[in-house]
Amino acid sequence: MSEWTDAIVGERMTVDNQFTDRVAASRFSSQEWGLIMTATEFEIEDAADPDDARIVADTSSLPAIMPELENVRSQVAAMGGAAGGDGGGSGGSGGGLVDSIKGALGLGGSGGSGGGSDEELDAAERLVQEYADELQAHLEDKGKWEQVRLAYQE
């Protein structure tokens, strides 16, 4: 099923660029958003029905990475940056973000399976679904939605 997401990489990059303002206005920094997106998968619900099909975010892995958001905030603060919606800059965090992602995926780091606040998780889930809605709207505007919907079914 990953073929359908591979086929829309360019469209996702466009939506990513358009979505930066929404991320900047959110409670999450661009680094935190990147971590949230690594833990999110996208599916097409009701793919067989052209009228009801829609992209939905599978956020079932988000609770596992929520503690890592605090690590990202700590690293940004230690580097003298703001923990809020930074949204820009060169992003050279010296591997800290990579280490956080590895830890969230269970590939190293201290781990710990505590969760972030429910409010934080809800905010992340809402923002990810907004992204999914934006992605679908973009695909529809570009006339690619039907092709993507059919590719998902294969």
Q: How many residues does the chain have?
A: 154
In this prediction, residue 134 carries a pLDDT of 97
Q: How far apart are CA 43 and CA 26, in angstroms?
A: 24
Rounded to whole angstroms, the Cα distance separating 31 from 51 reads 36
Query: How many CB atoms are located within 10 Å of the residue 60 CB?
Result: 10
The residue with tokens 């052209």 is: 50
pLDDT for 115 equals 46
Give the pLDDT confidence of 38-53 residue by residue, as tens digits.
999 999 999 999 999 9
R_g of the chain, CA atoms, integer Å: 16
Residue 129 pLDDT:
97
Instruction: Tell me the two tokens of residue 23.
Output: 């991320």
How high is the mean pLDDT of the chain?
82
Pairwise CA distance, residues 106 & 98, whole Å:
12
What percentage of residues in the chain have a pLDDT greater than 70? 75
